Structure formats: C-alpha cells, structure tokens
Amino acid sequence: MGSEVYYIGVDVGTGSARAGLVKKDGTLVASSTENITTFRDKEDHRIFEQSTTEIWNAIGKTIKAVLKESKVPASSVKGIGFDATCSLAVSDENADPVVVTKGDQLGQSGDRNIILWADHRAEEEAELINNTGSVVLDYVGGTMSLEMEIPKTLWLKKRMDPKLFSRCQFFDLPDYLTYRATGQNTRSVCSIACKCSFVPAKGGWQGDFFEKIGLPEFSKENYRQMGAADGDVLNAGLPVGKGLSKRAAGELGLLEGTPVGSGVIDAYAGWLGTIAARYTEKGKLSDVVPSLDESRHRLAAVAGTSTCYVVQSPEGVFVDGVWGPYRDVLFPGWWCNEGGQSSTGQLIDFMITTHPAYKELTEKAEKQNTNIFEVLHDTLVTMRDENKVATFTELTKDLHFYPDLHGNRSPIADPRMRGAIMGLTLDAGMGDLARKFTVTLEAIALQTRHIVDEMNAKGHSITAIYMSGSQAKNAPLMQLLADVCKMPVVIPANAGIAVVLGSAMLGRFAAEWAGRQGKENQDQGLWDVMVEMTPVGSMVSPAASPKEKKLLEAKYKIFRETIEIQKRWRKEMEDAAK
C-alpha cells in the first residue's frame, strides 16, 4: 500500500468532524468520525456555539484513525482538503480562540469561539444591513441572511470591549481550518464571497458598505481583521502557502509540507463530490459523459441538518431570495447561486421526536429489531391499503404542512417565517405520526420546487438534482423530490461520502497544481479531477401517476398560497398591535 497515492478530505459538519482517506480514483479506503459539541442557551433559542479547539482536536483524531485503520503511511498522503459549515470563527492574532458568548467573558480568551451557521442572534444587525441599499446586497439575492458572517461580526462589535474587538480575526470556518493547518492567513473566494460580503465582480471588499453599517475600521485598516486584502484570495483547491506547518503536521499525524487545498463551504464540497457523476438508469450506465458546461444544468443538493442547493452558471444570474451570484467561487469566471432550507433533517427529527406517539414508535422498532423509519413506512402502507388509496399523497390529501419552523432561507429570505399545519385532528397515535412524517417529507420537496422554480424563472436551466448528505438515503424523500420537482434525482453510490470526497479532490488538485498552472488548465484540471474521482450514481426518475401529479400540483399551489396568507396575517397582527 505504501507505494500508492492517497488524499485526505476533512468535512466539518454541524454535529461531527469526519476524515476520509481516498485513492486517486475516488475509492474511499477508510473514514472516521468524531462528534462535535454545540453549546446552547436555555434562555435564548437563537444561540448555537461551538469550539475550534474541539474541532481541530477531532480532526486530528479522525486523520490518525484513518491512517491506523488503513495502515497507510503519512508519506503516501499527497494532499489534504478541508470543508466546513459556514460558521463564524473568531481568534486573536496568534490564532488563539476568542469567546463569542454574550456576558462578561465576551472577547476574552476561551474555547467557545464559533457562532454556528444556525445561530439567529443577529436579526437586528441583518435588518440594519438590509436597509443600506448597498451593492453588496445585489450579490446575496437582495437580502442578507442573519446566518451570514457580517451580521454576526457586527453583533459582536456592538457588545464587545473595543480593545478586545480590535485584536480579533474573523473567519468563515473553512478558512480558519486552512489557516490553522498552514499558518497562512489566505482566504478562499468561496468563504469570503459567499458569507463575508466580498464581491469579486466589483473588485472585492466594499469600503462604503462597512462604513455604513458601523465597521469602518475594516476598510481603514485594509481589512486586517477579515483577510483577503490586496487580492490575497484563492479559488477552490489552489495550494495554500507551503502546505502543512510543522505544528499542524504533528497534530494531524501527517508530514510537514503536505499540500493543502484552498477550502470550501460544505455545500460546495458536496457540489464537487457529486456534479461530475455519471449515472445508471434502470441498471444501465448513461451515455452522457459530463463536461464543465453540463454542470450548469445540475443542481447540487447537500442535505443533512439543513439543505443547501448550489448551481453554477457561465454568467451571473440574479435571483431574489437566493444567495449570489458569486463569481470565481469554484472555477474562475464561473458563477454560483446558493439556495437553502434552514431546517430539513433537523425538521424531520423534530416532527418525529416531539409527537406523543414517539415512545410507541421506538418501542415497536426495538421489538421488531428494525429502525423507526421502517416502522413508519409499514404503518403508512397499512393505512394506504385500509383506506383503499394508491399513494401516500392520497392518504394525506387533506393535511398541509408549511415547514419554516426556523425561518426561511430561500427563496423568501425571511427569518420571521414560521411553520404551519392545516388539517389537524384529535388523533395522537401512530397513524397520525406516520401521516405527519410523510407530509414533512412532502413539504421539504415542495419547498425544493419553489427554490428550483425561482432559479429557473430568472435564467438558470436546471434539469436534474444531484444529492449528497444523509438525506440521500431517504428513498421516499428522493422519489418525492423527483415527482414534485418533475426532474430526475441522482443519488451518489455512497451518499455519506460525497462531501468528504469533494474535500479530498481539493487536496489532490493542490498536490497536482504545479503541472496545471494557468486558467484554462485550472478549469479543466479541477473538472478532470472531479470526473476521475466521482463514483457512478443512480437516477431516480419522476414516477407519479396522473392522479398523484394532480394532487401534488394542488398541494404546491396551496403551499405557495400559505406563504402569502402568513405574510398577510403577520401584517394584520402587527397593524393591530400598534
């Protein structure tokens, strides 16, 4: 094994850090996962915090574990890539963590130094930013989300001692990881353009924007605290500095100087790890050999706790409520748009675990030596047969669910949106839980269609959805997505590795960069790496009967009406409360 070449991908998700050891052809040799703590505030449901110290230690454990399991020597690892959630990491100028928790310790040295992507504390700051009329807003779908890094940074400034604030460095988490790995404070276009208000199409940082919102020191000090000054930015996978520093190499069990690829946000790693796939349909390999140009028709859906949707285009496409267009994020000169649902996997768990019949469900699953989803599916099949209907959609035709329990990311871009159910009865048993489970999947699919419809209406030409993440294992949801969105869904050979595989591709590209320099070689080189390393997927085609199509179309119409009704009711109540 020692003579073979390997790459490591590191994926830091919401709940865990994972390392994958990958061969040059994309074969996963070994993987390891370590859980990550998320700190909550019992008195404020908006607060989600983590620790870079814990995350870095977890990464070290996972990398050492895959090397031990595979018996691959560190000398055979030729490159490493990182992806992570789009969370705000704060350190001092020595890379030591700075506390982001409100209270007396805010700004002091301490481990709780990440404001997680899901944290919604910066609502007022986001509203202030969205009233500026800045050109920055044009490149985030017209409305900046409170989940992005600048509202959170502004929240910190308003509450932190000025002296402590001035010593801080602010990172999107993927950039922090490459900084920690190399000691080189070079930012990725992916992180700073998508989450930090850097606009490549307008020359980068917009000084007047930071002055308007109350962060004038950033422009006055040449973005010392944000990085990426004077064009010091990298496209996806380009080598960062001189590779792993001596300190990082020791902590990770790798060799000093191992090439490190410029990182990406986890959703974009999912794009890298799926979009270049060939696929089988009804057991036969498709004749389509994907090209970089073909990527414009393929929407990557990275579905875990939340779901992100990423599509690339040769020209900038402006879509209200959908982030972007971001130029140069993955390929120089190409543009990306990013839509999303703030809560999907989390929503499914919530709807199941908070139901009165949840205990009965778990007991039945244990008794039958199976999992709760098999029990729910069997329950739905029994109910379908007893009610003499053909589909689960017919079974829930009078139950409608709007899923924004944690606000809307896309395409409404309104954190005040809330969930709603119409069709409740006094049933609190297993049948009711099963109905609510399937209508939750249906609502996720309906909202996916809303996002795709908005993207295509404004100029995209999406014709297929390429899945990755844990939800790709959910067969009923995959079929609903195909049926509701009226387009095929391609599932990777191993749904769980697509994101970490995307990161490993960054490591390989960095290792091979010396022989690929130049834009044309850069574009084709990264695409070639993707094609060579992406396993063949399988296609789920739309399969709804004519009757189910009519029902789903009616449900989509009601779904869209629900949005307008909620907005109208909110205004009526706000007016009444004045």
In which domain, by residue range, is 238 found? 6-262
Choose the final residue of a domain: 435, 465, 491: 491
pLDDT at site 520: 56
Task: Flag whether 270 is in a domain.
Answer: no
Question: Hey, which residues does 400 pair with through a beta bridge?
Answer: 422
pLDDT at site 31: 97
Do residue 222 and residue 298 come from a single domain?
no
Task: Flag whether 571 is in a domain.
Answer: no
Burial 151-171 (b: 16+ CB within 10 A, else e): bbbbbbbeebeeebbeebbbb
Q: Is 324 left (phi over 0), alpha (psi -120 to 50) or beta?
A: left
Structure-block tokens of residue 155: 């929240």
| Chain centroid to CA 575 | 37
Do residue 388 and residue 482 come from a single domain?
yes
Provide DSSP, 383-418. HHHHTT-SSHHHHTTT-EEE--TT-B-SSS-BTT--
Do residue 256 and residue 320 come from a single domain?
no
Do residue 190 and residue 318 come from a single domain?
no
Instruction: Report the C-alpha gap between 572 and 569 in whole angstroms.
Output: 5
Q: What CATH number did the domain enclosing 347 receive?
A: 3.30.420.40
pLDDT at site 516: 65
Strands 169-172 and 114-115: unpaired
Do residue 169 and residue 43 come from a single domain?
yes
Do residue 124 and residue 247 come from a single domain?
yes
Cα–Cα–Cα angle for 455, 173, 31, rounded to 5 degrees: 90
Task: Flag whether 91 is in a domain.
Answer: yes
The total number of structural domains that make up the chain: 2
Do residue 223 and residue 347 come from a single domain?
no
Across the chain, which has 578 residues, the per-10-residue mean pLDDT values are 84 96 96 97 96 98 98 97 98 95 97 96 97 96 94 98 97 98 96 97 96 97 92 93 97 98 96 94 85 95 93 96 95 95 95 98 97 97 97 97 95 94 97 98 98 98 94 94 98 88 97 70 84 94 98 98 98 97
Peptide bond into 325 cis (omega under 30): yes
Peptide bond into 411 cis (omega under 30): yes
Helix H or strand E segment including 300: strand 298-303
Choose the final residue of a domain: 247, 262, 277: 262
Do residue 297 and residue 429 come from a single domain?
yes
The phi, psi pair for 468, rounded to 5°, reads: -155, 170
Instruction: Report the C-alpha gap between 557 and 537 in whole angstroms.
Output: 32
Task: Flag whether 545 is in a domain.
Answer: no
- Residue 35: Cβ-neighbour burial (10 angstroms; 0-12, 13-18, 19+): exposed
Task: Flag whether 387 is in a domain.
Answer: yes
Do residue 117 and residue 156 come from a single domain?
yes
Task: Flag whether 550 is in a domain.
Answer: no
Do residue 244 and residue 301 come from a single domain?
no
Helix H or strand E segment including 273: helix 266-274
Structure-block tokens of residue 197: 């208000």
pLDDT at site 1: 47
Task: Flag whether 285 is in a domain.
Answer: no
pLDDT at site 26: 95
Do residue 27 and residue 173 come from a single domain?
yes
Task: Flag whether 167 is in a domain.
Answer: yes
pLDDT at site 394: 97
